[in-house]
Structure 1
Amino acid sequence: MHIGILRERKQDERRVALRPSQAQELIAQGHTVWVESGAGQAAQYPDRAYQEAGALIAEKAKVLEQCKLLLKVKCPIPEEYSDFRADHVLFTYLHLDENIPPAQINALVQQGFLGIAYEWIEREGDYPLLEPMSKLTGHLFYQRSVELLAQHKGILAGSYGPALPGAKLLIIGLGRIGTEVLRCALMNRLNVIVVARNEQQVADKTQLVLQQMFGGNGLSIKPPFVVPFDDNNPEACKQQLNELIPDIDIVINCAVRRPNLPKEKLAYLVDKTMIQQMQPYSVVCDATACDRDLIETCVSSEILTHYDLIEEVVHYSPDHIPSYVPKTSTDMLTAVTFDYIKLIANLGPEAAIRAHADLRSGVSCYKGQITHPYTAQKKGYDCADILDLLD
């Protein structure tokens, strides 16, 4: 199979979808690998490294012409939509269920290609291609938030001695991203508040993190204060946060709105009036890239260093923060995508999809139709069965 690695065109996206050593392995298996010139440069994988691995370096038009399987990291932006043909297979993060307007989704999907989304590949109830980037997202939002706090509010976040009390950090949600934020915060002895549905889960995760980091020597670290969230009474959580938020230095939202929490039930967990109560130059981040979802004032940005000053509060919400460390994130991501790339290349896309339910779960569009149930439901599309479209 001819496999193409495309250079990312989204602003500040600096990752690449395949490493040279992986290209070499595919070539050894009889495949031809094409790399768009400059695709790996920002991730410290120059064209020369791919050439030494046996790959062919070409401009985008040649890669698109020659290749069936196309590899990217992020969803195509509008200027790329016309690049794709009905016989292409695109393997990347698609995120069609996120902030992309329906008109743009239509324009992309109508190209007819087979789109397989990293984020929806599911194995035994887990999402293995999301996990490493989610963990890295947690690390980086913690790192950037404490940098911004020091830069704008003049506060050192960590408690590294008796004269350093530590900043107050609010974490909303304790999934993978939130757990990694918690890990960083406990390691640096911040005063942590966690919004979570299950108080015992917070206690268990805290204990696990402390054991992993410190063995038996970190158990004296102050555990998080838990603000319980009840789906049946979300206002109670909001009221408690309203009382706490004037003293909070950093807010990092790591949770997305679930279908059982419509706007009619809870417009925002943190609204603009609460932001107004925060001290000037405190920091608010949304790690989910869901605009104005649980925090009224948070809107994502494509620019990794961009922040807004809203009500004198620093807002920082880049939608692809792993690209802040492109070498690290490329290595982590390609370590988990490569087995699926080999599967598609060696079996062919249709046979691989039929034979492997985990790969099949990632198929988001084909022949101009949406094929992923959640995406279809969230965006208001009919959902086609991918197996029917393959017949």
Structure 2
Amino acid sequence: MIVGVLKETADFERRVALTPEISEQLIKKGLEVWVEPGAGTASNFPDQQYKNAGATIAGGRNEILSKADILLTIQTPAGEELRQLKNDAVLICFLWALQHPELVDLLKELGISALGMDAVPRISRAQNMDALSSMSSIAGYKAALIAANELDKYLPMMMTAAGTIPPAKSLVLGAGVAGLQAIATLKRLGSVVEAFDIRPEVKEQVESLGAKFVEVELGEEETQTEGGYAKELDESKQDLQRKVIHEHAKKSDIIVTTALIPGRPAPVLITEAMVKDMMPGSVIVDIASENGGNCELTEHGKTVEKYGVNIIGPNNLPSQLSLHASKLYSKNMYALLDLLIEDGKPNFNFEDEILLKTTITHQGEVISPMLKSG
């Protein structure tokens, strides 16, 4: 079995799907690992490290595409590249199948068995495969550092001969993995932190990190999906939460927004009116900018100043810590492959919840219950 690793070609993508360390572990299991030249260079894994691990540096991209039994990537390869794969090849990467029905149709047509790293169920047995959580943790950490760097104030309280400087005030919207990491990082930097999430279940986690949980009374409405994500609220409840957020945004030097809804555009939590009421020099880092943004004024890939507030819509935050992001993603890959491969070949046992929910297509059919129910 040949496991192929491509060099990522998407803009702002510096990660690699498999590190030399994990390549060596797969080789010890009897698999061959073929790596495109330069695949790990942007993540500081030169070709020589892969050679030392026992991997083969292939002649080029096309050789891997045509010969790989299992292809590992981060971003989905282009359609013309997918057509070069064997019709029984296995593809593992971020697929975002709900947002890309045309990709699902192509995978069915080509007979590719495709597993989406974004579709790994959030259950305890799958935690070591959960690439979304791994990458979200990095995104939250980096967003906090970007905000601190952009702000023209100290974050911690500073006692100086010239007087005492009060600590900066930060507000984190969304207390999932990214939000919790942003909270923890801002607290370590000395900021006073508040956090908002529609899920009351996360209050204890927020407070355990030393932040104040901002509560909105939403009655008995269910606010969490089966997979642990926040659910979209009806319009009246959204208006209520925006009113509360508005009051806290006025007092904040930093806002980090992280709210996402699977398969839907990111909810707007920060309106133009809120930005107008923020203090000049304040900073918003909108992690959700790639999905439309949580701030009404976010421009993806840009830093813009509106009403004296700097609004940052960053590109691919996990890739900005490409070495550690690649290490974590690679370990997630290894755990999934360890489940999938039996006796040296893939075994699609759909009685296993992880394989059932992670597999998008197999042998020309849609497998994912998420897509079937949609």
Structure 1 contact 110–367 (Cα < 8 Å) conserved: no
Deviates more, 1:244-253 or 1:119-128: 119-128
Q: Which amino acid aligns with 1:124?
A: I
SS at match of 1:94: coil
Matched, 1:254 2:252: no
**Matched AA of 2:43:** A
The CA deviation string for residues 114-143 of structure 1, in whole angstroms up to 9 with x for no partner, is 110112222636653322222222111111
1:141 to 128, 140, 143: 143
Name the SS of the counterpart of 2:35 in structure 1.
Answer: strand
Identify the match of residue 156 of structure 1 among 142, 154, 163. 154
Shift in CA distance, 347/278, structure 1 to aligned 2, threshold 3 Å: farther
Corresponding residue of 2:350 = 354
**Equivalences for residues 133-282 of structure 1 within 5 A:** 133-149=135-151, 154-161=152-159, 163-197=164-198, 201-202=202-203, 204-210=204-210, 223-224=211-212, 226-228=214-216, 230=218, 231=233, 233-257=237-261, 268-282=268-282
Question: What secondary structure, in the 3-state scheme, does the structure 1 residue paired with 2:33 have?
Answer: strand
Shift of 1:281: 4.1
SS at match of 2:310: strand
Describe the superposition over 1:219-257 as per-residue Cα deviations: whole angstroms up to 9, x where unpaired.
xxxx42514262563322211222333332222112224
- Once the two structures are overlaid, the 10-residue window that deviates more, 228-237 or 62-71, is 228-237
Per-residue deviation, 1:373:
3.7
Moved more, 308-317 or 22-31: 308-317
SS of the counterpart of 1:70? strand
Deviation at 1:108, TM superposition (A): 6.1
SS at match of 1:331: helix
Q: Deviations over 1:71-121 (max 9, x none)?
A: 1122335674544443221111222335x5x55665566444211011222
TM-score (norm 2): 0.81
The 1-side partners of 2:348 and 2:8 are apart by 26
Q: Which amino acid aligns with 2:156?
A: G
Aligned residue for 1:288, secondary structure, equals helix
- Letter of the structure 1 residue corresponding to residue 32 of structure 2: T
Contact 1:192 1:224 in 2 (8 A): yes
1:1-391 → structure 2 map (5 Å cutoff)? 1-58=1-58, 59-77=60-78, 80-98=81-99, 102-103=101-102, 106=105, 110-122=109-121, 124=123, 127=127, 128-149=130-151, 154-161=152-159, 163-197=164-198, 201-202=202-203, 204-210=204-210, 223-224=211-212, 226-228=214-216, 230=218, 231=233, 233-257=237-261, 268-289=268-289, 291-292=291-292, 294-301=294-301, 306-347=302-343, 351-354=347-350, 356-367=352-363, 370-375=366-371
Gap regions ≥5 residues in structure 1: 211-222, 381-391
Unmatched 5+ stretches in structure 2: 219-232
Q: Distance in 1 between matches of 2:345 and 2:361?
A: 13
Q: Matched residues in 2 for 1:96 and 1:160: separation?
A: 49
Give yes or no for contact 2:175–2:206 (8 Å, CA) kept in 1: no
Range with greater deviation from structure 2 (71-80 or 56-65): 71-80
Runs in 1 of length 4+ with deviation above 6 angstroms? none
Q: How many residues align?
A: 351
Letter in 1 for 2:367: T
Q: 1:199–1:226: 8 Å Cα contact kept in structure 2?
A: no
Please, which moves more after superposition, 140-149 or 307-316? 307-316
C-alpha separation between the residues in 2 aligned to 1:317 and 1:2? 39
Residue identity matched to 1:142:
A
Q: How many Å separate the matches in 2 of 1:290 and 1:376?
A: 26
- Percent identical pairs in the alignment equals 23
Q: How far apart are the structure 1 equivalents of 2:277 and 2:80?
A: 41
Q: Distance in 2 between matches of 1:145 and 1:179?
A: 15
